[in-house]
Each structure stands twice: as C-alpha cells, then as structure tokens.
Structure 1
Amino acid sequence: MVNESTDTDADRPRIALIGPPNVGKSVLFNALTGLDAGVANYSGTTVEYKRGTARFRDHETTLVDVPGTHSLAATNEAEQLAVDMLEGECDLVICVLDAVNLESSLHLLLEVLQYDIPVVVAINRVDLLEKEGKRLRPNDLASTLGLPVVPTVATIGKGFDDLVAAVAASLEDPSRAGPRQHVAETDLGRKTGVDENVTTSEKSNGAGETKAAPPFENRADSGPSWERAGELCEEVVVEDDEPEAHESGYLERWSDLLVKPWPGLPVAGLVLVGTFALVVGVGMGIRQYLMIPLFEGLVFPQIENAVRAVTVPGIYRDVLIGDYGFLIKGLEWPFALVLPYVVSFYFALSLLEDSGYLPRLAVLLDGLFGRMGLSGSNVVPLLLGYGCAIPGITATRATSNSETQRMTMMLMITLAVPCVAQTGAFIALLAEETVLLVVAVFLVSFAALGLAGLALDATLEGTRQPTVTDVPPLLFPPVRQTYRKVWMRMKQFVTGGALHMVYAIAFASVLYELGVLEVASRYLEPLVVGWLNLPAEAATPLILGIVRRELTVLPLLEMDLAMGQLFVGAIVGLFYVPCIAVFATVAQEFSLRAAGLVLVMTMAVSFFVGGLFAQLLMVV
C-alpha cells in the first residue's frame, strides 16, 4: 500500500474508485492493480486511501480505492475523504454500484455526477440480483445517464474486460463518460444532510433499536436525489421472465431471520461459541502436531549444536540460546506458540466477513451497544482489535459517527481487547491446564468492555446520532477469497508482529544477561509478590510487556505456577499497557494526551484487577 503521491503518480491520470461499503470495491482494486488490500464483507474495512498502479490498455493510471460511503454529505470521515478526492485532482471516477441495493447506490452516483468529472459505472453483484428473480437493464441506464455502464461480478472477474475497455475509451475521450446535460443540471442537492444518508438496508431510531428503512415510495424524508434514484431504479430493474427459476433459497430465508432477536440472538451465541472453539481447536492442533514437533525435534537441536560449535560458555552463548536466548525464544514464542492461533483466528474472522454475517451481528448488538452510547456497527473495530489494535482503532473513523464514539471505542480496545498474539499467548499458557481458564479470561474481557463502555458513556460528553448499517446478502464464503485473505493476514503478522516480537526478545535477552532486568525487577517485587501473589521472577515479564504486550504472558510458561497464578498472570496481561506501536497510533489518531491516558488507565486497571483476583483466590 502506498500512502503518498510520487512524481511518477503526478504524470499519470488519477482514477478514483467510489462506491458504498460491501459492494466489492476492494476486490476490483486488487484485480486491477495486483496489490493486496483489505477485502471484507462489512462496513469500515477501507478506512484509508489504497493506491496502486492500474493499466487500462495503453493507459497507465494511479487507481485510488476511496473509503466506502453511502453519500457525500460529509457527516463522517469516510464521506469527507470521498468529497476531498472529488474536489482534488481526479481525472475519472469508477463508481461501483450495488445491484442488490441499486436505489441507494444510484443516489450516491447522482451526487458524484454533481462534480465535473468523467464517470464510468460498474454495477456489481448482478448475480445476486438475478437470484432474487430480477434482471438489470444496463443499456437503458447507460442511455438515460449518458455514461458507460458495465455489469460485473467481482468475485469471479465477470465484466472486468468490459470495464477496462470502458475506462480506456473514457480516458481517450472524456466526453464518453460525461453525463447527459439534463442529468447534470438536475437540482439534486450535494449536501443532503443526515436524513438523506439512509440506505435500503437498516436505519436506527436513535434509541438503540435498528429498523429496516422503509421502501422509497413510503419515505417521508425523500429529497430530489432520492426521487430520481427511485425512478431510475424502477426503469432499469425488471422482474425476470422466469421467476420460478429463482425461488427463495436457504440462505435468502436465513438472511432476514438473522437480524431478528429470534432466532438471531441464539444463533449469534452459537456462532461466537463455534468461532471460539474453531480458534482454540485448530490453533492447538497446528501447534501440537506441526509447529512444536518441527521446532523442538528439528530446528532447535540444529541451532543449539551450531551455536555451541562456534561459541564458548558465557554471555554470548546465553544471549543466543540461554533462558531468554533469542535464537530459541525468538522462534518458539512468535512462531511455534502464537502463529497457529493467528492462522485459526484469521480463518474464523474471514469466514464471518465473507459470509456477510458480521453486519447482521452489528444489527443485533445495536440495542446493547446503544446503552453505552455506541452503535451496532462499532462491533467491527472491536473484532478487528482482536486481530490487532491498530486496524481496530483506525476503523473507528468509518464506523463511529462522533468523536465521542471514536474515543470510547479506542479506550475500550486498548483496555480490554487482546490482540491475536495475546490470545495465542493466553491459550498457550492456560489451555493445557484447562480450556475453562481461557473462557474465564475472555469473560473478564467482555465484562470489562461493558463496564468501560457504560463508564465512558457517563463521563465523555457527546450525542448519539442515528445509525446506518449496510446489510449485504448472506453468502457461502468463497474458498479462494478466504484463503487469500488468511494468507495475506498471516504474512502481515509474520512481517509485522512476529518480527517485532523477535526484536523485543533479542533486546530482552541482552538486558537479562547483563543483569539489567534483574535490577529493575526488584522495584516491582513488592507489588508482584505481595499484591499479585506471583513469584519474584514474574516481575521480569512486566518489564518486557512494555515493548510487546504478549511478553507479559509468554515468559510465565517457563515458571512452575499454580492454576490460580496462571489465571492472575493472564488477567494482568489482558489489561496491561499496549505495544509501543499502538501508543504511536493513538497519538497520531487522537493526541499525546490520549496516549498518556491509555498508559495510566491500562497500568492501573491491570494491577488493580489482577490483584483483586489474586487476593480472592487466596481466600478461596
């Protein structure tokens, strides 16, 4: 991903990829540029510009994936970024519409047409429209608007060649992609306000309850742009001549049921339990039957023999293969212990994303989140936070409708949402004793999230605006796409989190052998031994955890701890200070003051709650 323009970029035409969330823009972007970008079936994935080079026949261009947005009303950061792109240096727009929710997509298109920029229209997911017994007439829309209109199915590449040809032709002759005069001059209104930012999917009533938006003809708040969008939709979407061939299937029936309390809530419980079981079961299987035999039976003996052959006993050998030897622990902890759970977690998350289930979970949780001043769509950054806090924090830009919500979500994520590396550490530490301890840690995490949300809602000033949640069709996750996403995210973990962990372990190994950690640990011993009821050597991981949060937990594997001590150590690690990279992200997204608040809050809660459990377990 490239974030800044270069001199070469300035010489090429710039094309903006604009459309609503969940419409397949990122799939198109990947196909056209060959770059890996986030592809997720829920709102908030593309929270920053993604930039890449795309060739449309003889034209080499800079293609920019603009954050998914329902309108250009600029009521949140995603919409503002789209407006900034249209008002900046943009030579052409590929406007990606959703065939299933075409009316709301046409509303966005009509807003885009208010800017004097050539537009090529790609109508994606036409296959899902046909499953509903309807048919699209793209030529009629092209004739009415005076724009190139290309039907596509992004997941299988259908229509890509036609889209490339249409863009190439429009670059050669921009008038081909210019709207008819009567369309451009229609008084549609660029700034439509909050009430206009409604899709045909879901709209909140502001009281924590999410309801389906009424059909176009029944909307009391419909403006000129919605009226025109409704007229166009009626003109170009017709009933299929053979409706009997498109009977409602199993997924279509469940698609509506899953957003209702019954059976939606019980199913949500089963899905979450099944996801947890999948992450733990698959991760433990990979670790036990593949990674540990590989490293302990093959890799580590070779490393130890090689190091002993070229070194003499002493500090250099101990730094390499001693108690914190980074050639051993630097491979064992991130790769043998944590990586298996990274793979299983991202596999489970990709299934939830690509199936379209996450937006339904957001609808179900809207009432619960509303009690904390949040909306159901805020479940997205929370779930991303379980992978890594950084994308979870940045995702709040698109899923939160106020700075108060963003601050609340950031504090909740940094306080009580363990990243996937921490989760792997918890499972490695506790699961062999009993999986119930892992469950208990996550129950504490959920309880802390709820209490923190209520406390922050009562403390932080701000108002809750109506919630819009896009609900895509329920699908069987495409195997190829799911595999690609898991592979991409695993590579990101290896090149990012795992390598950073190796560096931290190498640094810790040097400090440990020099005796620096031992001296520093003495100052923490009264707190660790007296309040947390842990052995004195457990003070060392607390120092390491400042660099990488999971290092608060992983060294406990080497200690002979009782079950209660393992649990206390995990609780301390759950609330402990985030990684340095997370602090940098908080400072960049919010302020240095906010980063300082995170440091004080997490440190205080970590020792306070961990100590309470330690004292309670001593009494019991």
Structure 2
Amino acid sequence: MSRREETAEVDADSEDTRVALLGPPNVGKSVLFNALTGLDAGIANYPGTTVEYKRGTATFRGEEATLIDVPGTYSLSATNEAEQLAVDILDGGCDVVVCVLDAANLESSLHLLLQVLEHDVPTVVAINRVDLLEEGRRLRAEVLARELSVPVIPTVATIGKGFEQLVDAVAGTLRNPTVPGGDEATWDRAEELVEIAIVDESSGGSTPAGTLQLWGDRLVEPWPGLPVAVLVLVGTFAIVVGLGMGLRQYLLIPVFEGFVFPVIEGAVRSVTDPGLVRAVLIGEYGFLIKGIEWPFALVMPYVISFYIALSLLEDSGYLPRLAVLLDGLFARIGLTGSNVVPLLLGYGCAIPGITGSRAAETYKQRLSITLMICLAVPCVAQTGAFIALLAEATILLVIAVFFVSFLALAVAGVVLDRVLEGDRNPTVADVPPLLIPKAHITANKVWMRLKHYLFGGAVHMIYAIGVASLLYELGILELIGEHLRPLVVGWLLLPEEAATPLMLGIVRRELTVLPLLEMDLSTGQLFVGAVVGLFYVPCIAVFATVAEEFDIRIAGVVLVLTMGVSFLIGGVIAQTLALF
C-alpha cells in the first residue's frame, strides 16, 4: 500500500477508480481503511460542505483505486451534510462501494445496505465484528450473498480476519462490475434478512462475551452506571496526570537536561560570540532550548497519556454509554448526552471538537458546543502546561483549575441555552457492544494522533518560541509589557514580565502558561496565571476553524468573549486572594 498526497476534491468526472467505504458510525471502517491504505492518508472537505473525509490509495490484487472513507451514517435520508455526502458519492463519486455492516446491530445495518443498493452501484458487503455475535448465533454469509446478489464477507477488522477475502471480492468487482438488484429499503425487509442470515445454535451457558454484554446493558442505567462513570473519569484523569508526569520526570527531562541541552549549548557557544545570535538560540527564551523543552519535554508526555486514555474509552465502546448517562444532565444546558463526544475531543484539540460538533442535532447545539470549547475546554497541550506549572506546587491546583473549567462550561451552557434561539432534539444514539480494547489498535490510534501533534501543534509552538526569543532579545516584549502593566500588574497581580505569555498565547494557547514556569510566582499567582490561560483567546488555528465552520462574526465573538472572560475572572480571583 502506498500513500498519495490528497489535495484534490472528489470529482465525479475524474478518471481515477474510486472505492467508497460506507457504513454506520463505530463499525470499524477506519480500521479497514488503515489496513488497506496504510496509516498515512489525506483529509479533505467535500465540495460545498464542511464535512471531512479521508482519502488514500489502495491496491486490490493489482487494481489501484482511491479509497474514500465516508463519514459514518445511519441512513441515506440526506437530513444532514454527512448523509448528503454519502448520497453524492454513491450517485456520482465511486465505482464500487464497500458497505461495512455491524454484526452486533445487523438489522439497522441491513436497512442502510438496502438503501445503498437502491443507488445501483456495484457493492461488496463486509459484515464486521462477527466475533460479537452472541454465543450460539452464527452468520450465514453465503445465504445472505445469494439473497442480495452481492459478495458478503464476514470480518473481524481488529485482528485482520476476512481481510484477504474482502480484497479478493473488491478486486473481482472492480474487474467485473455488476449492479445488484435492490430490494425496497424497508424495516420489514431488513428484519426478514436478519432471520435468513442468522441461525441460533445456542445451548445456553455463560461466556465472557455474555458477561461483557450484561455489563454493557447495566452501564447505561443510573445504578451502577453513574458510580462507574465517576470511577472512569477519575481513572482517566489519573492516567493523564500520572503517566504524563512519569514520562516527563523520569524519562524526558533527564534525557534532555542531562544529554541534549548540554550538547546544544556547547555547540552554540563554540560557533557564536556573546551577543544577539547566541541569546536568541540559547538565552532566556532560547529557540534551541525552549523550542525543544516546552513542546517535547513538558507537553508531549501529557499528549501521549491523554490520547491513550481517550483511545481506551473509544475502543471499549464506553463513550456512547457515558453519553446516555449524561443526557439528563446535559438537557439542563440545552445539549444532549451525545454532545459529550465533541466536548471530550476538545480536551485533545479544539479543532476536532469543533468539527465533531457537526453531528449535533441542531445549529443551536453546534454553536453552543463550539463556544463552550473555545471558552473553557483546555486542549491537551494546554492541560500538559497546567500540570507542568501547578503539579509540583500541589496537585490540588490542577484539580481546582479543572473545577473552574467544568463550572464555566455549566454556566456557559445555561446562558447560551437561554440566549441562542432553537430547539433541543431528543437523543438518538446507537450504543455499540462493550469490548476489551485491542492493544495494537489503540497503539495505532495514539500514534496517528501523536503525529498530528508533532507535525501540527509542536511545530507551531516552535515557530512561536523562535519569534518570542527574537522579540525578547530586541526588547520589544519588554516594551509591550510596560503598556500592559496596569492590566497585568495592577489587576491580575502578576509580575510585569507575565505580559509576554499573553502575546505568545495568541499563537498557541499553552504559551500563555508555559513561560510562567520561568518566573518565581506564589501559589496564588500560579493559580491566577492558569485561570487566565484557561479562558484566554484560542490559538490562530482554532480562530480560523471557527471562521470557516461558521463565519467571521462568530470568530469575532469568540475573540471578544474569551479575552473578556479571561481577564475578568482572572482579575476577580487575584483581587479576592489578595484580601486574605
């Protein structure tokens, strides 16, 4: 499999052979896509929409094709942009469609397949997760294939089962495309197909899969669901903080401070004289020192630990259960339980959280989620900065910052629900089976997300540190600090040099916090600085994403709202602490 740089949009008139992966959410399409194309793939927006899809190049027994991973959809009713994208690709954007069905939710998946077959596109069916069929239930793929006149391949994507047969089937269909005769897409027909495809050979008895299913059902109920949810969230926090601090303190910091930095400083001193160039490279904001220490030694450990925790929640099937449990609570702020997913994604990075809000039922909910993420959801790099800044003083400060974040989210949700116009639609969620995560699948997801940080967030942070180093040594940051002195010193009660992070935070939000590490601050000042950083303006990339997803006016509201709240709440806390 090879990688093709994807910059072109889907074009119905293109001569490229196109194969579309289509199916419901959380069915394993991404695992199949990665296996067929390799882990590297391009992401683009479909013309005229804000919907993203993945594209890569795959070879099916000598037949090269562009593989399109269509966003997960439950139907082809075209009631939102994701469904419309699926319809458009079926009607003019693909030569073969691989419809990936869920063996554990076969009836709803077959209803989607029947809708696909109505579009008269050569089709291959992959029924994934056949290992999750209840004990004694067996899939008769060959019977279903005869009934629908399409190839039907049972698969278990996480272990590669059925992969070769699927490749063979797609290759054969590409060479000899046959348009299947479609049945009417009704739920009655889907139910008939399930009865034909599944035979029950059970003889009773308890199995590990049955135990997981039992717990999967219980975890959406208040008892024991809510206590377990608290334990899961506390455990997630413990993984992020504990693993991140361990990587930082016992691996990365010793390596960088003991080996890397001395070599860099020695090399720079050997080829430069004291002055501007040396100061920019290894001085107060030394580009070659802070440009490595901050993104890689201080922030990256928490990026790794956060994405490990998030991937485990995703791969286990727990996130949809958390969404069901939180639905009643979220209803009080005009959201639904399913909206917890983009909010959680925002704790990794605001951009996927904002784009993930496209799945929200209404525009009001989508705008509320976006504003809440921009205002009070710290990204993983920012979280790493908070922990690096506060944890050595006391872990209670880290907990306090996140308490402020959750409180601000609740208040913002209530206010936005009253201010913004629109209705709240009921939650519709497909709860997948509870699973034991596969180590290699989790590792692949963490690696892909880590690469996004390394080539995105870390690179931008390095650029910002380089500019800051130059401006600092030229005295420009000191000049800016003098003008901001009434705000920084008089209102926030921070030292004058704390104005520097406010300038850097416009480029990368975590840079509002990281420079405070170099200052001798009291516990109260550390907390104030962290709170200001929590609410401070989003980085340039997030601002651009908001403008693209909505419009420049909404982006302007985000800018004014975050800056105003940041200085208001930070100052109120500082002035309050000064009274004690």
TM-score, length basis structure 1: 0.89
**Can you list the C-alpha shifts for 1:79-122, whole angstroms capped at 9, x where unaligned?**
12111211223211111110110000011011111112111111
Aligned to 1:173: 176
Percent identity for Structure 1 against Structure 2:
70
Moved more, 460-469 or 547-556: 460-469
Q: Are 1:118 and 1:174, in contact at CA under 8 Å, matched by a contact in 2?
A: yes
* Partner AA of 2:518 in structure 1: E
**Can you list the C-alpha shifts for 1:217-262, whole angstroms capped at 9, x where unaligned?**
xxxxxxxx11111111122112125444757643222111111111
Q: Are 1:47 and 1:395, in contact at CA under 8 Å, matched by a contact in 2?
A: no
Aligned to 2:113: 109
* Partner AA of 2:413 in structure 1: G
- How much has 1:597 moved relative to structure 2? 0.7
Aligned to 1:154: 157
Moved more, 78-87 or 338-347: 78-87
Aligned to 2:252: 291
Match of 1:122, SS state, is: strand
Aligned to 2:290: 329
Q: Are 2:135 and 2:210, in contact at CA under 8 Å, matched by a contact in 1?
A: no
* Partner AA of 1:155 in structure 2: T
What pairs with 1:262-277 in structure 2 (closer than 5 Å)? Answer: 262-277=223-238
Match of 2:287, SS state, is: coil
Aligned to 2:320: 359
Moved more, 3-12 or 419-428: 3-12
Q: Are 1:260 and 1:364, in contact at CA under 8 Å, matched by a contact in 2?
A: yes
Select 2:388's aligned residue among 418, 421, 428.
Answer: 428
**Can you list the C-alpha shifts for 1:166-213, whole angstroms capped at 9, x where unaligned?**
1111122222xx323xx44x3x4xxxxxxxxxxxxxxxxxxxxxxxxx
What pairs with 1:281-430 in structure 2 (closer than 5 Å)? Answer: 281-398=242-359, 400-430=360-390
Match of 1:238, SS state, is: strand
**2:495 counterpart of 1:491:** no
Aligned to 1:469: 429
- How much has 1:8 moved relative to structure 2? 13
Equivalents in 2 of 1:369, 1:245: separation in Å?
Answer: 36
Equivalents in 2 of 1:528, 1:127: separation in Å?
Answer: 60
* Partner AA of 2:35 in structure 1: A
- How much has 1:326 moved relative to structure 2? 0.8
TM-score, length basis structure 2: 0.95
**Can you list the C-alpha shifts for 1:20-70, whole angstroms capped at 9, x where unaligned?**
0011001111111113469xxxxxxx9621111111113111110000000
Q: Are 2:282 and 2:289, in contact at CA under 8 Å, matched by a contact in 1?
A: yes
- How much has 1:160 moved relative to structure 2? 1.1
**2:166 counterpart of 1:163:** yes
Q: Are 1:75 and 1:401, in contact at CA under 8 Å, matched by a contact in 2?
A: no
Equivalents in 1 of 2:274, 2:479: separation in Å?
Answer: 23
Aligned to 1:439: 399
Q: Are 2:39 and 2:448, in contact at CA under 8 Å, matched by a contact in 1?
A: no
How many residues were matched structurally? Answer: 569
Aligned to 1:619: 579
CA change 1:8–1:321 in 2 (3 A) is: farther
Aligned to 1:199: none
Equivalents in 1 of 2:202, 2:300: separation in Å?
Answer: 52
- How much has 1:306 moved relative to structure 2? 1.1
Aligned to 1:536: 496
Equivalents in 1 of 2:275, 2:326: separation in Å?
Answer: 57
Q: Are 1:14 and 1:91, in contact at CA under 8 Å, matched by a contact in 2?
A: yes
Moved more, 428-437 or 511-520: 511-520
CA change 1:395–1:584 in 2 (3 A) is: same
**2:464 counterpart of 1:509:** no
Select 1:135's aligned residue among 134, 138, 145.
Answer: 138
Aligned to 2:416: 456
**Can you list the C-alpha shifts for 1:483-515, whole angstroms capped at 9, x where unaligned?**
111122112211111111011000011111111
Equivalents in 1 of 2:6, 2:41: separation in Å?
Answer: 11
Equivalents in 1 of 2:426, 2:11: separation in Å?
Answer: 43
Equivalents in 1 of 2:309, 2:473: separation in Å?
Answer: 40
- How much has 1:382 moved relative to structure 2? 0.8
Aligned to 1:24: 28
CA change 1:310–1:427 in 2 (3 A) is: same
Aligned to 1:196: none
Aligned to 1:573: 533
Unpaired runs of 5+ residues, structure 2, are 43-49
Equivalents in 1 of 2:444, 2:511: separation in Å?
Answer: 29
Equivalents in 1 of 2:309, 2:147: separation in Å?
Answer: 44
**Can you list the C-alpha shifts for 1:466-485, whole angstroms capped at 9, x where unaligned?**
32112111111101111111
Equivalents in 2 of 1:475, 1:589: separation in Å?
Answer: 34
Q: Are 1:501 and 1:548, in contact at CA under 8 Å, matched by a contact in 2?
A: yes
Unpaired runs of 5+ residues, structure 1, are 39-45, 189-224
**2:231 counterpart of 1:230:** no
What pairs with 1:511-530 in structure 2 (closer than 5 Å)? Answer: 511-530=471-490
CA change 1:9–1:166 in 2 (3 A) is: farther
* Partner AA of 2:86 in structure 1: A
Equivalents in 2 of 1:337, 1:583: separation in Å?
Answer: 25
* Partner AA of 2:305 in structure 1: S
Select 1:14's aligned residue among 2, 15, 18.
Answer: 18
Equivalents in 2 of 1:580, 1:429: separation in Å?
Answer: 23
Q: Are 1:133 and 1:245, in contact at CA under 8 Å, matched by a contact in 2?
A: no
CA change 1:246–1:303 in 2 (3 A) is: closer
CA change 1:595–1:371 in 2 (3 A) is: same
Q: Are 2:12 and 2:93, in contact at CA under 8 Å, matched by a contact in 1?
A: no
CA change 1:134–1:7 in 2 (3 A) is: closer
- How much has 1:350 moved relative to structure 2? 1.0
- How much has 1:516 moved relative to structure 2? 1.0
Select 1:62's aligned residue among 62, 66, 75.
Answer: 66
Equivalents in 1 of 2:489, 2:202: separation in Å?
Answer: 77
Moved more, 2-11 or 425-434: 2-11
Aligned to 1:601: 561
Q: Are 2:10 and 2:93, in contact at CA under 8 Å, matched by a contact in 1?
A: no
* Partner AA of 1:164 in structure 2: V
